[in-house]
Amino acid sequence: MGKRKAGHGFTEAPEDFLVVGPDFRLDRIDPASTPGFTGSKSDGEAILAQRDPHLADLQERLFAEGKGGGTRSLLLILQAMDTAGKGGMISHVVGAVDVQGVQLAAFRAPTDEEKEHDFLWRVERQLPGPGMLGCFDRSHYEDVLIHRVHNWADAAELERRYSAIQDFEAHLHASGTEIIKVMLHISREEQRRRLAARLDDPTKYWKYSPSDLTERKLWGSYMDAYQIAIERTSTPYAPWYVVPADNKWYARMVVQELLVAALERMDPQWPAPAFDIEEQKELLAQS
Amino acid sequence: MGKRKAGHGFTEAPEDFLVVGPDFRLDRIDPASTPGFTGSKSDGEAILAQRDPHLADLQERLFAEGKGGGTRSLLLILQAMDTAGKGGMISHVVGAVDVQGVQLAAFRAPTDEEKEHDFLWRVERQLPGPGMLGCFDRSHYEDVLIHRVHNWADAAELERRYSAIQDFEAHLHASGTEIIKVMLHISREEQRRRLAARLDDPTKYWKYSPSDLTERKLWGSYMDAYQIAIERTSTPYAPWYVVPADNKWYARMVVQELLVAALERMDPQWPAPAFDIEEQKELLAQS
């Protein structure tokens, strides 16, 4: 990384300045900031819309490459506190590409069957196929986040999991899956506003759960758990990006650009034909 | 049906005049026609775009209903000859709603594991969950279409399958899944043009396969197989619609409207809150 010029609309390429490095400190990142972007909300929304076709084109190439026998794929992992905007990210950024090339997986509380297996078992079953853009709405990181916060796993088990995640992601990357891990970072105050908005709108009640307040009380513990999980698992082959997300439009611009950057690096190619074109044209003309 | 006023932009509601009735004759439907619509291509495309938000709104309500404990779902089954536009239908019509509420399944040649089971086994595993818009790109109908054309199933087995499909779909409907079955109907000549276009464009080679010509030679047998399959399995609870598809924009308008009509009939509701709103507001304010 670091070789691409600034992303569309940004003063610098977001994959360079939002990537987690060795001195990462979550508490120094302002969720309300919009680093690398000097425009307004409407500027940002315009850029987001303008950039959709480029992302869609790159995604179609990856999809075609997969159909032509390629084995590469791209996986976006989204983690965040409630209301941080994972759903909107999926609808508006991931959802802007061809739905046929998208493989979504939402990881909620594990089922009884899932609990009988190691924590990576259910994740392995949802990995993107060849040519696919996979997107995880929550992920195996829950097993080192909520599990740490609630002490459902002890220190030794958490250590085992950080290592297992590193190994798992290294293997995945070596098998041809590019991995982008994103924490959408909102402030506690912004979460309050968003929860209040859900309680004020009958078309949004279904998005609210009283248990949201239980987790909200543990905000500090969650931030600690994110800090540790991110510093333990941000690697060159599976980097973490912490994206300020109090401004939804900014977070969406960034994630769109992270996907574009990853796909540009992958540079997927239209498959060469596995048949003789002129011969097929003749056969078609006769048919 | 038959009670809704004309669909948006149509002189009559497409679910009324395109539904397969007792006198169905596939060979009397002109694939180049645009029944019920008197506007131009650009009119049609404008209506399609204008109508997207309404479809997306209805779909979100269904999704919310599912999250709130509802068990209903909607299943769109697409069948067609190669190049008829299933993929574009999924990208442009189904893909216009929130990707989080869409469950796609593409049925290709069965795997060895799938072959060990009855033909409906793999289909049952891909049924839409509560609140979901399911979409089948090909389906269990392949087992009475290509299987009939190639004599992979004998007459008695085909009879068994028509009955099994009726039972299966009746059960599915009784369990809360609305079913819309669509045949995108193109002409043999239009298929030639579309295959030729794929052979003229390096970004489309991957969509072409020499085997497309093998099936193309069997056009007449396929039309016979569609005629029989459709007349044997069009029921009030799982109706077939044969949609003229030489004009992609027209076919998309129709399928969009069929989805809208189905969702309007279902009339999904925002879930009532399962908590005391004022109490939660107070708890949130204190948090």
- The residue-averaged pLDDT of A197-208 equals 96
**For a pLDDT cut of 70, what percent of chain A falls above it?**
98
Q: B62, B219, B284: which to substitute to probe chain A, counting the most A Cβ within 10 Å?
A: B284
Question: What does the mean pLDDT of chain B come to?
Answer: 95
In this complex, how many residue pairs, one in chain A and one in chain B, have their CB atoms less than 8 Å apart? 103
> What is the reported pLDDT for B8?
78
Residues of A with CB under 8 A from a CB of B: 64, 67-68, 87, 90-91, 94-95, 98-100, 102, 104, 106, 137, 192, 195-196, 199, 202-203, 205-206, 208-210, 213, 216-217, 270-273, 275, 277, 280-281, 283-284, 287
- The residue-averaged pLDDT of A75-89 equals 97
Distance, CA of B72 to chain centre: 17
> What is the reported pLDDT for B2?
45
- B67 to chain A: which residues are within 8 Å by CB? 206
Beta carbons of A99 and B104 less than 8 Å apart: yes
- A270 to chain B: which residues are within 8 Å by CB? 202-203, 205-206
Q: B97, B100, B276: which to substitute to probe chain A, counting the most A Cβ within 10 Å?
A: B100
Q: For B212-281, list the strands marked E by DSSP.
A: 240-244
> What is the reported pLDDT for A9?
87
- Is there a contact between A75 and A263 (Cβ–Cβ < 8 Å)? no
DSSP string of A176-218, one letter each residue: TEEEEEEEEE--HHHHHHHHHHHHT-TTTGGG--THHHHHHTT
Residues A61-86: b if buried by 16+ CB within 10 A, e if exposed: bbbbbbebebebbbbbbbbbbbbbbb
- Provide the pLDDT confidence category of residue A8 given band limits of 50, 70 and 90: confident
Beta carbons of A213 and B273 less than 8 Å apart: no
Give me the residue from A90, A202, A284 closest to B195, CB to CB. Answer: A284
CA distance A75 to A181: 8
**For a pLDDT cut of 70, what percent of chain B falls above it?**
98
* A100-A103-A108-A114 Cα dihedral, nearest 10 degrees: 120
- The residue-averaged pLDDT of A133-160 equals 97
pLDDT > 80? residue A6: no
| ipTM confidence | 0.93
Give the phi and the psi of residue B134 in degrees, each rounded to 5.
Answer: -90, 150
- A195 to chain B: which residues are within 8 Å by CB? 284
CA distance B110 to B105: 13
The pLDDT tens digits for B3-12 are 566 667 899 8
Fold of B14-286: Rossmann fold (3.40.50)
Provide the edge-to-edge strand list for the sheet that holds B102-106.
Answer: B102-106, B133-137, B73-80, B177-185, B240-244
**For a pLDDT cut of 90, what percent of chain B falls above it?**
94
- A272 to chain B: which residues are within 8 Å by CB? 205
Both tokens of residue B279?
A: 């109490």
DSSP H or E stretch at residue B188: helix B188-199
- The residue-averaged pLDDT of A154-183 equals 98
pLDDT > 70? residue B72: yes
The pLDDT tens digits for A230-263 are 999 999 999 999 999 999 999 999 999 999 999 9
- Provide the pLDDT confidence category of residue B74 given band limits of 50, 70 and 90: very high
> What is the reported pLDDT for A3?
53
Report the gap between the CA of B284 and the closest CA in chain A (Å).
Answer: 7
Amino acid, res. B127: L
- The residue-averaged pLDDT of A138-157 equals 97
- The residue-averaged pLDDT of B24-37 equals 97
Report the gap between the CA of A157 and the closest CA in chain B (Å).
Answer: 31
The pLDDT tens digits for B177-186 are 999 999 999 9
pLDDT > 50? residue B1: no
